[in-house]
Homo-oligomer: A and B are copies of this chain.
Amino acid sequence: MEETRYSITELAEEFGVTSRTIRFYEDKGLVSPEREGLTRVYSRSDRARLKLILRGRRLGFSLQDMKKMIELYDPSQGSMDQLKFTLQKCEDQLAKLKSQRTDINEAISELEQGIRDLKEYKDKGPAEMNSQKLKLA
């Protein structure tokens, strides 16, 4: 089995982040690559972790959450507790996202209405507009 090795810049480019970011994750205890002298050498599993982290980030998880969840995939066995933890976090996050989506949808509606009003105000002039329509007091 070839030992696949990655450099920090290699992974940074592949995942579209800066090497600073990857080092930052290491600081937070999310990855711990080997060292050859000072240079970091990433294994295939390090790369997988990284991928997972970035995926979690896209889904809106905090790095702390990711740290705990990622332990599910460690050399050790995926214990039931870890599994439950991850599942719970996922469901929490799902709820959060859905709530956010609701908020955003409302904001979009309000904005769209606002834009319509503003355009009308611009075209017809302030004269024949009642300020109520612009949602003022």
Count A-side interface residues using an 8 Å CB cutoff: 43
Which one of A80, A91, A115, A137 has the greatest number of beta carbons of chain B within 10 Å? A137
- A107 on interface, CB distance cutoff 8 Å: yes
Q: Is the interface of A mostly helix, strand, loop or mixed?
A: helix
A59 cross-chain contacts in B, Cβ below 8 A: 107, 110-111
Using A73-B136, A107-B58 as known contacts, say yes or no to A87 and B115 having CB atoms under 8 A apart. yes
Q: Which residues in A have some Cβ–Cβ distance to B below 8 Å?
A: 44-45, 47-48, 51-52, 55, 58-60, 73, 78, 80, 83-84, 86-87, 90-91, 93-94, 97-98, 100-101, 103-105, 107-108, 110-112, 114-115, 118-119, 121-122, 126, 135-137
